[in-house]
Structure 1
Amino acid sequence: MARVSQEHLDARRRQILDGAARCFARNGFHATSMQDVLREADLSAGAVYRYFRGKEELIEAIVNEVLDTVRTAFEEAAAKSPPPPPDVLVGQVMTQVLTERTGLSYEGEEGFPRLMVQVWTETLRNERLSAVMRTGYARVRQAWIGVVEAYQEAGLMRRDIPAEHVARTMVAAAQGFAVQQALFGAAPVSVLQDGLRGLMSMTSPMDSPSSS
């Protein structure tokens, strides 16, 4: 029997994940059956079950892949001295997730946000998936804390505000933008960036020219 190369195995796994991601984004988690995934991926049951035992493992693999991509992007930014400003950094990461799609294949620009909203909903009833999300979110938050600490070290951000609080807020901004994409339709990442720039431009009334 010919030995199957690792490249072939990786490509087959990618094919399965892409098919599952399209199905979940289009029809939701509970409305998608494994038969739907088989048809979408154009593979036999034996080929798919060799890699994943069911929908739960598929969705966990997709979630881990996306969260790892986001975490890696922030960790790379934190290694720069100083990191790009928040509006640029968040824009880069969101573009990577929404446009480059982290290697996953979705249908339409709202595919990834729709999938993530469905996953977040599922975590309310699925303790195993909830644990995966908590672990992944903790890693992303820790990467963002590193970015904020780098801002503070460079004198670009005030030090009297806990880095974790800023990190949570920036993660919430990215998550909220994804929810808007899922509920109200696609919008360019520049909208989020402009909003962040507007918030970053605020000054104290004591700093305004009219106060002097």
Structure 2
Amino acid sequence: MARVSQEHLDARRRQILDGAAVCFARNGFHATSMQDVLKEVDLSAGAVYRYFSGKEALIAAIVAEVLDQVHEGFEEGARSTPPPPPDTLVASVLSRVLATKASVTVDGRPAFPRLIIQVWTEVLRNEELATILKQGYGAVQETWGRIVEAYQDAGMMRSDVNADHVARTMMAAAMGFLAQQALFGPAPVEVLEDGLRGLMSAQGEPARSPLG
């Protein structure tokens, strides 16, 4: 029997994950069955179960993969001295992640933002998924904390602001942008980049004229 190459195995796993992502984004986790996934990817049950034990394993794999991509993107930024400014860094990482998911669509629209909303909803009832998400976000938050400290050391950011607070805010901005895409339709990442740049340029309250 011919030996199956690792490239073939990886491609088959990618096919299954992308098909499952479409199903979950389209109908949600609870309304999606493994039969729906099998139909979407046009594979037998044996072929799919060779890689994943069921729907829960598929969800966990999709979430872990995205979090790893995001974490590695920010780690790359953290290795620069100093790191790229927040607007550039967030936009760069988000663009890269979205580009890897661009081919996965539902009704002609990117499935990834809709999938993210489904994940957040599922986390509220699925402890295993909540643990994966918490660990992934914790890793990203820790990386962003180091990035902020690098900004402060380089004089790029006020030193009296808590690094963890800035990290949480930058993560919230990216998450909120994805939620907007899911709710209101696609928008270029440059929108987020320009918005962050604008906020970063804001100065303190202007001095009032003595005349009122």
Instruction: Name 1:68's counterpart in structure 2.
Output: 68
Kindly indicate whether the alpha-carbon contact (under 8 Å) linking 2:104 and 2:110 is maintained by their aligned counterparts in 1: no
Alpha-carbon displacement from aligned partner over 1:2-44 (angstroms, at most 9, x marks no partner)? 2222222111111111111111112211111111111111111
Instruction: Name 2:42's counterpart in structure 1.
Output: 42
Q: Following the alignment from structure 1 to structure 2, what is the Cα–Cα distance between the partners of residues 109 and 80? A: 34
Kindly indicate whether the alpha-carbon contact (under 8 Å) linking 1:152 and 1:159 is maintained by their aligned counterparts in 2: yes
The total of aligned residue pairs comes to 209
Q: Following the alignment from structure 2 to structure 1, what is the Cα–Cα distance between the partners of residues 135 and 205? A: 41
Alpha-carbon displacement from aligned partner over 1:68-99 (angstroms, at most 9, x marks no partner)? 00000000001011111111111111111223
Residue 32 (structure 1) aligned with residue 39 (structure 2): no
Q: Which runs of 5+ in 2 are unaligned?
A: none
Q: Following the alignment from structure 1 to structure 2, what is the Cα–Cα distance between the partners of residues 143 and 210? A: 43
Instruction: Name 2:134's counterpart in structure 1.
Output: 134
Q: Following the alignment from structure 2 to structure 1, what is the Cα–Cα distance between the partners of residues 160 and 109? A: 39
Aligned counterparts, 1:19-168, within 5 A? 19-101=19-101, 105-107=104-106, 108-168=108-168
SS in 2 for 1:23: helix
1:161 CA drift (Å):
1.2
Q: Following the alignment from structure 1 to structure 2, what is the Cα–Cα distance between the partners of residues 69 and 24? A: 20
Q: Following the alignment from structure 1 to structure 2, what is the Cα–Cα distance between the partners of residues 173 and 133? A: 17
Kindly indicate whether the alpha-carbon contact (under 8 Å) linking 1:75 and 1:146 is maintained by their aligned counterparts in 2: no
Alpha-carbon displacement from aligned partner over 1:114-164 (angstroms, at most 9, x marks no partner)? 001101000101111111111111011112112112111211011111211
Identity of aligned residues (%): 66
SS in 1 for 2:115: helix
Kindly indicate whether the alpha-carbon contact (under 8 Å) linking 2:67 and 2:137 is maintained by their aligned counterparts in 1: yes
TM-score, with structure 2 as normaliser: 0.92
Q: Following the alignment from structure 2 to structure 1, what is the Cα–Cα distance between the partners of residues 70 and 154? A: 23
RMSD of aligned alpha carbons = 1.8
Q: Which runs of 5+ in 1 are unaligned?
A: none
Q: Following the alignment from structure 2 to structure 1, what is the Cα–Cα distance between the partners of residues 110 and 41? A: 20
SS in 1 for 2:161: coil
The code of the aligned residue for 1:21 comes to: A
TM-score, with structure 1 as normaliser: 0.92
Kindly indicate whether the alpha-carbon contact (under 8 Å) linking 1:99 and 1:109 is maintained by their aligned counterparts in 2: no
Structure ranking higher in helix proportion: 1
